[in-house]
Amino acid sequence: MSALSNGDPKVYDILKKEENRQAYGIELIPSENYASEAVMEATGSIFTNKYSEGYPGKRYYGGQEYVDMVERLAIERAKELFGVEHVNVQPYSGSPANTAVYFGLLEYGDTIMGLKLDHGGHITHGLPISFSGKSFNCVGYEVEKETGLINMDAVRELAIQHKPKLIIAGYTAYPRKIEWAKFREIADEVGAILMADIAHIAGLIAGGAHESPAPYCDVITTTTHKTLRGPRGAMIMCKEKYAKQIDRAVFPGLQGGPHDNTTAAKAVAFGEALRPEFKEYAAQIVKNAKALAERLIENGFNLVSGGTDNHLILADLTNKGIPGKVAQEALDEAGITLNKNTVPFDPRSPFDPSGIRMGTPAVTTRGMKEPEMVKIADWITSALENHENLDQLHKIHDEIKKLCKNFPVPGIKI
């Protein structure tokens, strides 16, 4: 990065500090991952110079031959990867993708159903203060207090009562598999469109570690980073019958020119996910999450739903006597990055919740496996037991740095 270091040493210095943080820390935020060097090269490519409002073969500016080529490649690879009829790769991120679905398929004031935010859903699934909550009549379903699981009979009863036009399945803090077939039955019974938001589990689905929603859902949205390990961005997949409405909602409904450098990087990431080794990666994410969860349970942690089926773990720290915010800050000092998180029926504020959320996509990308998950669980335990002892937290970080040297981050030389 000689051009950056010479041209703007202040930005370069900040970037190098972040590089050092990533290289010598354990990244457990389940929505974060490490893109390959190829994905990063495409993201930083000359495609960032181009404007291309419209779609392949129908643009509003000239000079689109190669933009069309790379967008078509991304679309075809996504279709092959997920087995879907139509793909729009232009959404800037997950929230705009969800908004586009609502904008294209609903009228303002229509009823939608999604999992409540404090039970594991997303802000775009109906949070009252978000665009979704202000624009639509949002009905939230919950997990059971005793089990931490979604009760599909309760979802059905709620759907029959409120007759939603759209039902959303897919979450940001739900550690179990989603029953796509049962959601399809409910949607059919009440005449609803079924939407899957697979932002968190797209890589698990692409790698065959989780069942695909494609046979059951009318529309699927996903980010292209997280477990899919691509650039920051999103896409919408749908049945052909909804293709025109979705495309019009994305452009010109909500967006102008797509980010062509990101589109190129999406094509690269989808190509990587089509390789056999990606299946091994997806399977290892789940193995690592289960190993991490099992060790945390052995160490006295109370995990929501009692464990995990996917890439993420949600822990209620009430029995540990430490709030999630304090835990997050202590773990930062120890070189472990995760996020404070509400737990179902949390009596505490979302800004100072009872829980923490963690996941295994990033550490799995580095090549870590079950033995490392045991070490990480023990470090988390020790850090929280010594959360007021900076010397002890920094000693843990020193141990973590030694481990990290054996598992380099793609694109970072240590």
- Which amino acids are annotated catalytic? 51, 53, 197, 223, 226, 232
Q: How far apart are the C-alpha atoms of 66 and 73, rounded to whole Å? A: 10
Token pair for residue 314?
């949600």
**Residues 95, 96, 98, 102, CA torsion sign:** positive
Token pair for residue 256?
């102008």
List C-alpha distances in Å: 227 to 26, 32, 83: 16, 8, 18
Q: How far apart are the C-alpha atoms of 49 and 336, rounded to whole Å? A: 37
Q: How far apart are the C-alpha atoms of 153 and 157, rounded to whole Å? A: 6
Q: How far apart are the C-alpha atoms of 376 and 370, rounded to whole Å? A: 10
For 43, what's the count of Cα atoms within 13 Å in the CB-facing half-sphere?
A: 15
Q: How far apart are the C-alpha atoms of 215 and 24, rounded to whole Å? A: 42
Continuous segment of H or E residues that includes residue 166: strand 166-169
